[in-house]
Amino acid sequence: MSRPAPLIDIRIVDTTGVGTGEDSNSLHAEYERQFEHYYLPVSRQWSRPDIKFNALKTEWKTNTAHLSSITEICMHPAYQQIIGMGPLALPYIFAAMREKPDHWFWALKAINSEDPILPEQRGKIKEMTKAWLRWAKEQGY
């Protein structure tokens, strides 16, 4: 017996980097987000670590960008939920760090119980990011 045809058959084609501008890529990313939001129930979306990570990261950045206290920044519930994802969050954290240095050090320390940062590097965000990305490479991320 043949399988019934799917009710919807929408394929998202990755057009990033194919001669498209930044605005076009933003529109495409937003389209993908809307597509997932519309067709996937929230409960299923959150079972996908990439979607969960990106949603938490957006919430975290939106609510803490104006803060200077690293304690307040990292105690934000969305950041703590990322820590709660455990090692599952690591590939996404490292990908985010490769894109832009940011305050992922608390989460990395909490998830890994390791710290490749030298005392003299404390507070130097670029150097700390490089040290963690070096560690990530050594660990196969």
Binding residues for another protein (CB under 8 A): 22, 64-71, 73, 100-103, 105-106, 109, 117, 119, 122-126, 128
- Smallest distance, Å, CB 45 to another protein? 26
Nearer to another protein, 40 or 83 (CB): 83
- Smallest distance, Å, CB 67 to another protein? 5
Backbone φ and ψ for 6, nearest 5 degrees, come out as -65, 150
Confirm if 22 and 42 have CB atoms less than 8 A apart.
no
- Smallest distance, Å, CB 107 to another protein? 11
- Residue with tokens 């803490």, as numbered in its chain: 64
Confirm if 67 and 74 have CB atoms less than 8 A apart.
no
Nearer to another protein, 3 or 66 (CB): 66
Nearer to another protein, 2 or 68 (CB): 68
- Smallest distance, Å, CB 102 to another protein? 6
Secondary structure (3-state) at 47: coil
Measure the CA angle with vertex 82, ends 123 and 104; round to 5°.
15
Confirm if 93 and 104 have CB atoms less than 8 A apart.
yes
Nearer to another protein, 89 or 128 (CB): 128
- Smallest distance, Å, CB 108 to another protein? 10
Measure the CA angle with vertex 107, ends 101 and 108; round to 5°.
75
Nearer to another protein, 92 or 129 (CB): 129
